[in-house]
Chains A and B, each alone.
Chain A
Amino acid sequence: MNTLLNEDQRDALQELMNISMGQAANALARLIDAQITLSIPKIVVVSASEFHAIFQSDNYWFTRQSFLGLVKGEVLTLMAKAGTETMGGLLDYPVPLNETSQDELLLELANILAGACLNVFSSQLDLNTKLSMPTIFSEQMRKAESYRWISTLLMEVEFQLEATAFDSRVVICLEGQSVNVLIDKLNQLLED
């Protein structure tokens, strides 16, 4: 499955994710007047149990949202628990956060980062995706065996807020058929 993408396709996908991440970081950086450190996008095919393992971490809060369009899937946003208070302060939330304001903060952050990421990604490939509102996601209770799929294409970018513990990862996951649509679109981009 790791040969799902050829080298050119992988290069193109990585560059598209780079650009998406840049736009998302810029949106957040301007909002809080700080600098965000970017990572190299990760593009991997993961099994259900590998996917499940991501959400067993106690160090992150999670949100999820769905998207529909030429491709379908879900975006998951991981936000470091350690940096939540700092982030709350920068975004003018009353700190210390209570349960409600913390949820509100996480949803707003996820919306900014995941929203910008997916929108920029989708518009570069004319995928015309529409993103639903994020919700808090708790995966701890689920079993890896309960997923209805075997493997999925996972595209991940990471944002770190300089000089703080805040760290966030946006993970875009495509549903089975959509991977083929994506590959077609990448080929078009590479051919013309």
Chain B
Amino acid sequence: MPIPVTIADDSMLSRKTIRKALPPDWDIDLTEACNGKEALAAVAAGKADVLFLDLQMPELDGFDVLRELHDHHAKTVVIVISADIQPEAQKKVAMLGAFRFLQKPLHADQLHETLTELGLI
């Protein structure tokens, strides 16, 4: 059974970078979302057991998505991938229940390491 994975980022380049950094042999069912609303819709549709989440997005931003998931006790594994890497943002994300925080620019080996740590690959 492929794992349902969603990448939520408003930037096309960023989504592409994440997509390319994923382990090539990882058996997944990939969905892409351009904003927070689409990300929540993907979760609701069961397409996001794993969610790669950007923080700065139109409509609903990453923090809003995390809050929503947190409030509804969603079981989604959220990995934040953000350009804003200030200590304050990292702290806030952790408090809202994200599993990991990765900085942009994203390095493939860091992503692999994280996925391994979380037992996803």
Contacts and interface: CB of A to CB of B under 8 A. Distances in A.
A interface bracket (residues with beta carbon within 8 Å of B): 20 to 34
Contact of B104 (A18, A29, A30, A38): A18
B interface bracket (residues with beta carbon within 8 Å of A): 10 to 19
Interface string A49-84: 000000000000000000000000000000000000
Contact of B14 (A15, A22, A26, A29): A15
Given A11-B13, A19-B104, A190-B13, A35 B86 contact: yes
Interface in A1-44: 8, 11-12, 14-16, 18-19, 21-23, 25-26, 29-30, 35-36, 38, 40
B12 A22 contact: no
A189 interface: yes
A29 B56 contact: no
A38 B56 contact: yes
A8 B105 CA distance: 18
A140 interface: no
Contacts of A138: none
B57 to A, nearest CB: 11
Contacts of A35: 86, 88
Interface residues of A: mostly helix, strand, loop or mixed? helix
A90 to B, nearest CB: 15
A162 B105 CA distance: 25
A84 B22 CA distance: 45
Contacts of B12: 8, 11-12
Interface of A: 8, 11-12, 14-16, 18-19, 21-23, 25-26, 29-30, 35-36, 38, 40, 120, 124, 189-190
